[in-house]
Chains A and B, each alone.
Chain A
Amino acid sequence: DTAVSQTPKYLVTQMGNDKSIKCEQNLGHDTMYWYKQDSKKFLKIMFSYNNKELIINETVPNRFSPKSPDKAHLNLHINSLELGDSAVYFCASSLNEKLFFGSGTQLSVL
């Protein structure tokens, strides 16, 4: 039933590892996003895809690679994790300018 679901909810890993976060939306929306929320709750847009095509890439390090196998899925792969990558990552989809968010993935890099 969940409209935008992302997994895992928590991710604890060592520096240097590679990890992925998955996102799926069942709302039929064409546009999907990844946002990063830091410890001060500041939300920064990372990527946006429209119907599987990348339309926004906000100067994110190329260690971050989004992949959209179809318009219902937008996954985020992160290589060589760094301490500064620790944050909450939110997936979202949009229709008529309104964003619908997943519940977030809290990433802790040790």
Chain B
Amino acid sequence: SQQGEEDPQALSIQEGENATMNCSYKTSINNLQWYRQNSGRGLVHLILIRSNEREKHSGRLRVTLDTSKKSSSLLITASRAADTASYFCATESKTSYDKVIFGPGTSLSVIP
């Protein structure tokens, strides 16, 4: 069964606003990652948060992880039109090393 699920499926915001995407998963994990996919391209790694971490920042990105609720959120602050893409969370479970499972993704549209 699917390891991670994103919410919402699609999000449309104005440039300059913040975008928040959520991810839920089902099993115990070693780490959770977020990836971005621009239309017609491969996925690009954004940020990795380990199971013993609660929050991580990278530029305009902020990721939180709540292992008790098996959920994570990705916050993009001061969004730009170039942030328009699909965003995926991915998990590596404690029992399946190297097996990275992706959620269905959130499609983000940032309107200039």
Query: Does A associate with B in a complex?
Result: yes
User: Which A residues are within 8 Å of any B CB, using their own CB?
Assistant: 4, 31, 33, 35, 40-45, 48, 50, 55-56, 90, 92, 94, 97-104
Q: B98's contact among A41, A56, A103, by CB below 8 Å, is which? A: A56
Instruction: Please name all residues of chain A whose beta carbon is closer than 8 Å to the beta carbon of B101 when the two chains form the complex.
Output: 45
CB-contact partner of B42 in A50, A56, A104, under 8 A: A104
Residues of chain B at interface, number, CB under 8 A = 25
Majority SS at the chain A contact face: strand
What is the minimal beta-carbon distance from A104 to any residue of chain B, in angstroms? 6
Bound together, the chains give a CA A31 to CA B92 distance in angstroms of 14
| B98 and A99 contacting across the interface, CB-CB below 8 Å | no
Contact across chains for A55 and B41 when beta carbons are under 8 A apart: no
Out of A4, A40, A42, A94, name the residue touching B100 (CB < 8 Å). Answer: A94
Q: Which residues of B contact A55 (CB under 8 A)?
A: 98
In the complex, B43 has a CB within 8 A of chain A: yes
Given A56-B98, A104-B41, 5 other A-B residues pairs in contact with their CB atoms under 8 A: A33-B100, A43-B102, A98-B33, A99-B35, A103-B42
Q: In the complex, A56→B97 CA distance in Å?
A: 10
Contact B44 A101 (CB under 8 A): yes
* CB-defined A-B contacts under 8 Å, sample of 13: A44-B102, A45-B102, A56-B99, A90-B43, A92-B43, A94-B98, A97-B48, A98-B33, A98-B45, A99-B33, A99-B45, A101-B43, A101-B44
